[in-house]
């Protein structure tokens, strides 16, 4: 077996290993998405706006806490979450 043949075999093994890793990562991502879709969000609080008629709601999506207020949308942090947690 020559050098070129050994190199081809080695390269094919690396490509196969890479494809296996990509497949397992994709399967894990699909499972996570499936789990998240089947998990109902838990409402943690509801706050009336001080400046408008809006009502802001804080939800827990399986450990990921969110709020629908403008502060959370832009900064990913707000006083509503701080009050709940």
Domain residue ranges in the chain = 1-38, 42-84
Does this model's pTM top 0.85? My answer is: no
The pair of three-digit structure tokens given for residue 44, joined into one six-digit string:
């943690």
Residue 1 clears pLDDT 80, i.e. is over it: no
Q: What is the pLDDT of residue 30?
A: 86
Yes or no: say if 53 and 34 are a contact pair by the CB < 8 Å rule: no
Q: What is the pLDDT of residue 20?
A: 86
| Strand bridging mode 42-48 / 55-61 | antiparallel
Residue 70 clears pLDDT 80, i.e. is over it: yes
For residues 25 and 15, what is the distance between their CA atoms, to the nearest angstrom? Answer: 15
Q: What is the pLDDT of residue 67?
A: 95
pLDDT digit string, tens, across residues 7-62: 999 999 999 999 888 888 888 888 877 777 777 788 999 999 988 899 999 999 87
Yes or no: say if 56 and 68 are a contact pair by the CB < 8 Å rule: yes
């Amino acid at each position: 077996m020559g050098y070129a043949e050994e190199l081809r075999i080695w390269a094919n093994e690396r490509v196969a290993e890479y494809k296996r890793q990509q497949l397992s990562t994709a399967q894990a991502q699909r499972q996570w998405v499936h789990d998240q879709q089947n998990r109902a969000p838990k409402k943690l609080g509801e706050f009336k706006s001080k400046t408008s008629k809006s009502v802001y709601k804080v939800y827990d999506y399986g450990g990921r806490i969110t709020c629908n207020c403008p502060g959370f949308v832009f900064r990913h942090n707000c006083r509503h979450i701080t009050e709940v947690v």
